[in-house]
Structure 1
Amino acid sequence: MKTLNSNGQLLGIVSVFALFIISNGQTSNTSNQMIRAVNLGGWLVVEGWMKPSLFDSIPNKDFLDGTALQLKSKTIGKYLVAELGGGSIIAANRTSASNWETFRLWRINETSFNIRVFNQQFLGLDSTGIKLVAVSNDSQKSGVFQIIRKSDDPTRVRIKGPNGYFLQAKTQDLVTADSKGDGQWGGGDPSVFEMTIVRILQGEYQVTNGYGPLKAPQVMKDHWSTFIVENDFNFTATSGLNAVRIPVGWWTAYDATPPKPYVGGSLQYLDKAFLWAKKYNIKVILDLHAVPGSQNGYEHSGTRDGSIEWGQTNETLQETVRVIEFFTARYVNSSSLYAVELINEPLASGVPLSILTKYYEAGYNAVRKYAPSVFVVLSNRIGANDSKELFPVASGGTNVVIDVHYYNLFSDIFNNMTVEQNINFIQTNRSNELQTITTSNGPLTFVGEWVAEWLVRGATKEDYQRFSKAQQDVYGRASFGWAYWSLKNVNNAWSMDWMIKNGYIKL
């Protein structure tokens, strides 16, 4: 993994754009102004659901990095499985499919892939060169597979192994790569599998690797230059908002030549954002949304295949601290830099509190090395049982903020709620949750993401207005402030730009 080697290199890169970004005097945040912000999500960290058209021209676009497949043998009628989740043979003996029966793609080109199993090993062939196993943790040594679909039925596939022959399920316990793959596509051919796609990821890794090194640079430049523009900062300022939260990826710190498949150029647009923020008197919360190895497995974390590998080695922690240091050093003299968020939404089931605490302490010190008074934001873990678990690490610093995200979505409890029940949930449950962590002697609190979207069908414009107002009233009690997700989105309720312009949200 490419790294920044030293503080000297960091500052050398900073100096290239120094005159471009520096304003008079260092940021001073001795007092907290109540933040009413909007997230610039989907801009410098891609999320396909926010702008699906960005992926439209990728060849074989449902076979991106991280696409999860389940394969059933047409002759045996059972699913392929990585026995023990990996480290052993591949069999065809499962009547139903779950984690061990799910295979994740690492895209090499539109038809060639490395294929990863549950315990992170890759498909390959054993010492005989024929039998299918999953024992190697090295994608470069495991072998390349090709997936060929039936022309008139894309759910039926053949898979060519690294030896040039096709996989076939000879028995429930014997899957080999020794078929010519020239038979009929019917149920009597053991080289034919029924494929089910159970997940497609559409993040930064997927879009850049999907288009490849020749096309991706122009595609991303077109996206950066049109998705968020200067007038969006003017609109933010004139709409009653005073800040933006800008999600960024770790690779932006390595501009202009970030590690593949990421492409250079995003740092120039982050520089522009700071210039626009200064021009329209908008504060910036710089949010490290994606870190090396992914902190939650979601596409917005820059993950390749949904795995959570951040924090499993000191290297990923140290590199993330260097990224924080780079961004802080670059923008500390911008009058708009108001806060640095060290990481976004680490997942409790994948990131132990001890690891996160270690990183937060190091990240806080990295910010303070350059910026004595900007706010340092610590994101709560998704799924953590204790909403105050970060208080011990937060208590050791100054101008520390705890970030919580509140959505009336993503949980079965919201499935059948009415309009009134949703509003009541905000006014009672969310209010109580926020009150619990907003203490007079504790860290400041920040509702860093919320949205006026829900699972209510047939809601009227007035319903949305009331729902939005209830959230503004409650989240306005957070001692640092709130930020809507997000400014732009093809889904109207998720777009604050659309919601304000069409009267659904009133500030």
Structure 2
Amino acid sequence: MMGNQFFCLKLLLAFYLSSCHYVSVAHTENSFLPLKAVNLGNWLVTEGWMKPSLFDGITNKDLLDGTQVQFMSTKLQKYLCAENGGGDVVVANRTKPYGWETFRLWRVNESTFNFRVSHKQFVGLEDENGGSKLVATSDIPTNMETFQIVRNDGDPSRIRIRAPNGLFLQATGETLMTADYEVSTWEDSWEDSDPSVFKMTVLTNTVLKGEYQLTNGYGPDKASKIMRDHWNKYITEDDFKFMSENGLNAVRIPVGWWIAKDPTPPKPFVGGSLAVLDNAFTWAQKHGMKVIVDLHAVQGSQNGQPHSASRDGYREWGESYIPDTVATIDFLAERYANSESLIAIELMNEPQGVNLQSLKSYYQAGYDAVRKHTSSAYVIMSSPLDRDPKVLLPFARGFSGVVMDVHYYNLFSNQFSNMNVQQNIDYIKNHRASELASLTTSNGPLTFVGEWSGDWKVRGASKKDFQKFTQAQVKVYSRATFGWAYWAYKGDSNYWNLKWMIENNYFKF
């Protein structure tokens, strides 16, 4: 009898100790909340606006993947047009360029391209049996849809287009474009009367500068060194030390889907980013910080933006991409589940224009993938940019350990164009505070302001104005139950550069 009592006491003691340990672990993790974090943007997922010099060494860097161009026949003074936006012939009969007269580049090398039209087909020759008529009917670019842009040395906007048959395109009439013009060196003139000469307009506001453009622009021989040099220098352990010493307790690290294929990701992406992410976890643990792994760029692009590594600005992500995207989350969860630094995995950054039911299906599967490897890491679901931030609240209530991510900028809307300093601050204190409160419910997910910055549309603002603006945001966003993350830690623009903001006393929290 005494033996049984002793055994029962041992069991009770063991249960008590394990319970204490559980409470201790939970308390330790929750003691980090709400987070005071920063995004390590432009590190493992390129955003060219944050460091334009990364693109300086690319030949024809104005003709990157996704750049939109228009071609005008100098002889006819009319623009090339994909009739019906695609699925038909290419003509040269438009006096003004709009959507059907605009072509998106897929870069093969520095001078060779595919031309994608409005309805996503590619321009090519009619057939492989000697046909020279230009059409836009192929859904996939092959050799028959591959063209060389030959620029005039004195005026690079004057071009000829060499077709895959070796001959040049010419506007033989307004309703017929053919690839049957031969140019020899002795008659290589660039007169307006030449039917093979076109004026190319590059829509500069459409030039994408993301990871795809950078790596494909440099090509396989150069891209690997460019990226590795950037990864090794842009963020170092000293930066984690700086962040920790200045009161930040977490980082949100954007990653691309190709990281799960490291060290040999599909072209044009290059290997090596996974080892860099491993380093980040090591540095975070050493300096007492937490890590949010944020799937910023998904296969097919969830929003068509450069920061999603879109090739040409079209959003392709949808139901068919869910299995591969879940596989990426599964890979990341399995790799970092046992790291003391992991606090959360974000399933997708800033979806926009995606089917809501497909997004919910993915979030369910992504959540399950994370939970397969860890019960303690939070799972972050980003609100769709084009919908009410509360649209996912009823759905998110069905999960435990879930966070809703919203992004707040006083920039990307005309409503901020004419606001002065005080109006911007009042907008934060009233509208943003009210919206955040409506998202924060007792039986709902935690809330997270995953991106915000000290930049705005006010021009000529003083240092004191910037300080008041950032302080107003810190005060409001600190009410988010999971915390906030500033965009970004570094960048060429000072007010997007938290390190610079801290060093120059623009930012306090």
Q: Same fold (TM over 0.5)?
A: yes
Any idea what SS the aligned residue of 2:157 has? strand
Any idea what SS the aligned residue of 2:142 has? helix
1:379 to 382, 386, 399: 382
Question: Which residue pairs with 1:343 in the alignment?
Answer: 348
Question: Which residue pairs with 1:273 in the alignment?
Answer: 280
- Written as runs of structure 1 = structure 2, the 5 A alignment for 1:388-403 is 388-403=390-405
Closer, same or farther: CA 236–30 of 1 in aligned 2, 3 Å: closer
Deviating more after overlay: 210-219 vs 275-284: 210-219
Question: Which residue pairs with 2:9 in the alignment?
Answer: none
Question: Which residue pairs with 2:361 in the alignment?
Answer: 358
1:260 to 260, 267, 270: 267
Whether 1:442 and 2:444 are equivalent positions in the alignment is: yes
Whether 1:55 and 2:55 are equivalent positions in the alignment is: yes
The superposition leaves residues 157-207 of structure 1 with CA deviations (integer Å, 9 ceiling, x where unpaired) of 111111111112222211111122455323222222221111211111111
Query: Cα distance, 1:99 vs. partner?
Result: 2.2
Deviating more after overlay: 52-61 vs 38-47: 52-61
Whether 1:333 and 2:338 are equivalent positions in the alignment is: yes
Closer, same or farther: CA 116–264 of 1 in aligned 2, 3 Å: same
**Matched residues, number:** 478
Query: Cα distance, 1:149 vs. partner?
Result: 1.2
Q: Percent identity?
A: 56
Q: Which amino acid aligns with 2:147?
A: F
Question: Which residue pairs with 1:77 in the alignment?
Answer: 77
Question: Which residue pairs with 2:15 in the alignment?
Answer: none
Closer, same or farther: CA 91–27 of 1 in aligned 2, 3 Å: farther
Counterparts of 1:149 and 1:27 in 2: how far apart (Å)?
A: 65
Any idea what SS the aligned residue of 1:388 has? helix
- Written as runs of structure 1 = structure 2, the 5 A alignment for 1:349-498 is 349=353, 351-384=354-387, 386-498=388-500
Question: Which residue pairs with 1:305 in the alignment?
Answer: 312
Query: Cα distance, 1:483 vs. partner?
Result: 0.4
Closer, same or farther: CA 302–27 of 1 in aligned 2, 3 Å: farther
Q: Which amino acid aligns with 1:76?
A: L
Closer, same or farther: CA 273–29 of 1 in aligned 2, 3 Å: same
Counterparts of 1:41 and 1:418 in 2: how far apart (Å)?
A: 28
Check conservation: 1:123, 1:132, Cα contact below 8 A: yes
Q: Which amino acid aligns with 2:455?
A: E
Whether 1:147 and 2:154 are equivalent positions in the alignment is: no
Counterparts of 2:120 and 2:140 in 1: how far apart (Å)?
A: 9
- Higher RCO, 1 or 2 (CA under 8 Å, sep at least 6)? 1
Counterparts of 1:142 and 1:405 in 2: how far apart (Å)?
A: 44
Closer, same or farther: CA 88–475 of 1 in aligned 2, 3 Å: same
Bigger Rg over Cα: 2
Question: Which residue pairs with 1:18 in the alignment?
Answer: none
Check conservation: 1:27, 1:338, Cα contact below 8 A: no
Check conservation: 1:27, 1:337, Cα contact below 8 A: no
Query: Cα distance, 1:97 vs. partner?
Result: 2.2
Question: Which residue pairs with 1:293 in the alignment?
Answer: 300
Question: Which residue pairs with 1:283 in the alignment?
Answer: 290
Q: Which amino acid aligns with 1:287?
A: D
Q: Which amino acid aligns with 2:362?
A: Y
Give TM-score scaled by structure 2 length.
0.91
- Written as runs of structure 1 = structure 2, the 5 A alignment for 1:84-163 is 84-127=84-127, 129-163=131-165
Deviating more after overlay: 389-398 vs 401-410: 389-398
- Written as runs of structure 1 = structure 2, the 5 A alignment for 1:25-64 is 29=29, 33-64=33-64
- Structure 2 alignment gaps of length 5 or more: 1-24
Counterparts of 1:465 and 1:92 in 2: how far apart (Å)?
A: 55
Question: Which residue pairs with 1:169 in the alignment?
Answer: 171
Check conservation: 2:89, 2:136, Cα contact below 8 A: yes
Closer, same or farther: CA 248–26 of 1 in aligned 2, 3 Å: farther
Give the root-mean-square deviation of aligned CA atoms. 1.6
Moved runs in structure 1, 4+ residues, more than 4 A?
A: 25-32
Query: Cα distance, 1:416 vs. partner?
Result: 1.9
Q: Which amino acid aligns with 2:199?
A: E
Query: Cα distance, 1:28 vs. partner?
Result: 8.1
Closer, same or farther: CA 31–391 of 1 in aligned 2, 3 Å: farther
- Structure 1 alignment gaps of length 5 or more: 1-24
